[in-house]
């Protein structure tokens, strides 16, 4: 009996200890994430599990349209106030698996969602600061149908599964805003922002996945984003389409300095992307490690109808494209190492949304925020003791519905001008330093109303605009859908 009593005491004591451990570490904080290729149902399950573990800072939602095969395009949001845009809190997005057979980014975003939740629960100061100051959206798969086809056929073909279920390459399916922008340049019209406002018709009906992404981009005031691809190892920045129509040609954007910086931030934090000694993915090809792991899109190869340029030319968002591996569909056993290679770069790139300048444009008399105000920047950075730069950055951003704005910039000295219809323009001088993991410098604008003659802001010589496309058979956009798209990037929900 004494021996049995001793055993019972041990069992009871062990049970009490286990209960105590369970109380000290809630089950909701335990991650069960597995590094493997998750199918479309498992992808949803992973995201739902994250929202259950971190309900106070996450929200799961689907884009406005599913895929051709009716698979929802799931997005998980991280924010201290999920579901709402907050004044002066910038919006960030990562997108992956646009090409269905390029799968590494898909798993990286699932891993990132799990990691952010775990770090939040463990009270990681840096992650808590990032989530509290940023609204983050992760779309692991824009092309779940292509992923399904690539997976069913073994994931070994370079092209099978790349397109959607209608055999359309989604990264060639967006409206060709580069055409309008380059046409404006030829006519010396320096207008290259919010160009969807000037669309009257399209030359093709975009795929449902493309429509969903377009509405998403123009509904939420994204500031910074990246799109994950595979097949090489390089960070690619706008413009993606060449000016002359050449297959390869450096196509500089007005924000070339900032875009190169953003791409370099990611490449420098990847263990191999910026290594000048790494071999090319295919023997005889070029290794972008010689260029620091970055490239201008059109200098690599020209792309029309891509999502990267659509973001920049239709909204306030600055997007780069990340090619994160030579192998488009590596074995599941390689995915955890891919995460270890990319995790630091993914986190640091998100912090870049807090560079440059931000603020609120208000009515000086009422204090109310002014939406759709134009924010124009002139670079006045000192070159030496006697000279300073005098460069207009001919790509304006606009304030959103409460008057808040964000303008990503590299360190330097700038003149920032806010203008709005019915108000006198106002200019502030700002010095941008971009300290590590700190919010952007703030400069507010209190605009004085014009009592009589209304002021119409002109974005550097905009006269009239070419209706896209000219000289081609046009398929009219549905009036209701066009109305939903036009102007959404200026007044988000």
Q: Mapping DSSP to helix (H, G, I), strand (E, B) and coil, where does residue 48 land?
A: helix
Contacts of 260 (CB under 8 A, 6+ apart): 237, 294
Return the ∠ at Cα 381 (arms to 375 and 225), rounded to 5°: 50
Q: What is the SS3 assignment for 318? A: strand
CA distance 66 to 51: 21
Query: Which residues face 358 on adjacent strands?
Result: 406, 442
Q: How many residues belong to the chain?
A: 493
Catalytic site residues? 323
Spatial separation of the C-alpha atoms in residues 225 and 352, rounded to whole Å: 10
Residue 228: strand pairing partners: 322
Specify whether the CB–CB gap between 348 and 269 falls below 8 A: yes
**Which of 445, 480, 335, 384 shows the shortest CA–CA distance to 33?**
335
What is the spatial distance between Cα 259 and Cα 273, in angstroms, rounded to a whole number? 17
Within 8 A by CB and 6+ apart from 148, the residues are: 39, 40, 69, 100, 161
Identify whether the C-beta of residue 364 lies closer than 8 Å to the C-beta of residue 446.
Answer: yes
Burial code of 154-172, b = ≥16 C-beta within 10 A, e = fewer? ebeeeebbbbbbeebbbbe
Strand duo 374-379 + 391-398: pairing: antiparallel
CA-angle at 50, arms to 215 and 273, nearest 5° = 70
Residue burial 76-89, b: 16+ Cβ < 10 Å; e: rest = bbbbbebeebeebb
Could you tell me the CA-to-CA distances from 400 to 140, 308, 315 in Å, in that order? Answer: 27, 21, 11
The secondary structure element, H or E, covering residue 126 is helix 125-133
CA distances from 105 to 134, 207, 279, 338 (A): 21, 22, 22, 9
């Amino acid at each position: 009996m004494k021996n049995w009593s001793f055993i019972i005491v041990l069992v009871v004591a062990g049970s009490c200890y286990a209960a105590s451990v369970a109380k000290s570490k809630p089950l909701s904080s335990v991650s069960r994430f597995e590094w493997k290729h998750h199918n479309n149902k498992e992808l949803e399950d992973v995201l739902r599990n994250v929202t259950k573990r971190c309900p106070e800072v996450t929200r799961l939602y689907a884009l406005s349209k599913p895929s051709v095969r009716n698979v929802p395009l799931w997005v998980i949001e991280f924010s201290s106030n999920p579901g709402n845009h907050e004044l002066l809190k910038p919006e960030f997005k990562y997108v992956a698996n646009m090409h269905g057979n390029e799968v590494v980014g898909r798993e990286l975003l699932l891993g990132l969602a799990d990691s952010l939740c775990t770090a939040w629960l463990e009270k990681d100061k840096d992650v808590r600061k990032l989530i509290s100051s940023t609204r983050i959206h992760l779309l692991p798969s824009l092309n779940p149908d292509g992923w399904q086809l690539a997976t069913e056929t073994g994931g070994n073909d370079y092209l099978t599964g790349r397109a959607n279920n209608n055999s359309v390459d989604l990264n060639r399916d967006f409206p060709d805003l580069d055409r309008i922008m380059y046409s404006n340049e030829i006519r010396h019209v320096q207008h290259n922002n919010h160009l969807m406002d000037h669309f009257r018709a399209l030359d093709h009906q975009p795929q449902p996945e493309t429509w969903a992404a377009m509405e998403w981009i123009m509904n939420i005031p994204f500031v910074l984003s990246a799109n994950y691809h595979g097949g090489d190892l390089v960070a690619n920045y706008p413009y993606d389409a060449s000016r002359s129509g050449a297959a390869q040609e450096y196509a500089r954007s007005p924000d070339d300095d900032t875009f190169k910086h953003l791409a370099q931030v990611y490449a420098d934090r990847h263990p191999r992307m910026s290594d000048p000694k790494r071999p090319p993915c295919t023997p005889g090809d070029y290794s972008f490690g010689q260029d620091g792991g970055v490239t201008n899109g059109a200098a690599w190869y020209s792309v029309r109808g891509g999502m990267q340029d659509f973001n920049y030319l239709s909204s306030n968002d600055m997007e780069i494209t990340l090619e994160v591996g030579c192998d488009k569909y590596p074995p599941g056993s390689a995915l955890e190492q891919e995460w270890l290679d990319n995790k630091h770069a993914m986190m640091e790139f998100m912090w870049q949304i807090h560079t440059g300048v931000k603020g609120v444009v208000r009515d000086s008399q009422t204090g109310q925020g002014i939406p759709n105000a134009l924010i124009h920047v002139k670079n006045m950075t000192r070159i030496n003791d006697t000279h300073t730069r005098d460069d207009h950055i001919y790509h304006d951003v606009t304030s959103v519905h409460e008057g808040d704005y964000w303008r990503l910039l590299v360190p330097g000295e700038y003149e920032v001008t806010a203008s709005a219809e019915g108000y006198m323009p106002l200019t502030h001088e700002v010095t941008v330093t971009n300290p590590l993991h700190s919010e952007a410098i703030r400069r507010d604008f209190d605009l004085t109303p014009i009592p009589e003659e209304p002021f119409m802001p002109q974005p550097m010589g905009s006269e009239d605009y070419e209706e896209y496309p000219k000289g081609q058979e046009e398929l009219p956009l549905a009036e209701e859908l066009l109305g939903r798209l036009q102007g959404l990037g200026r007044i988000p929900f």
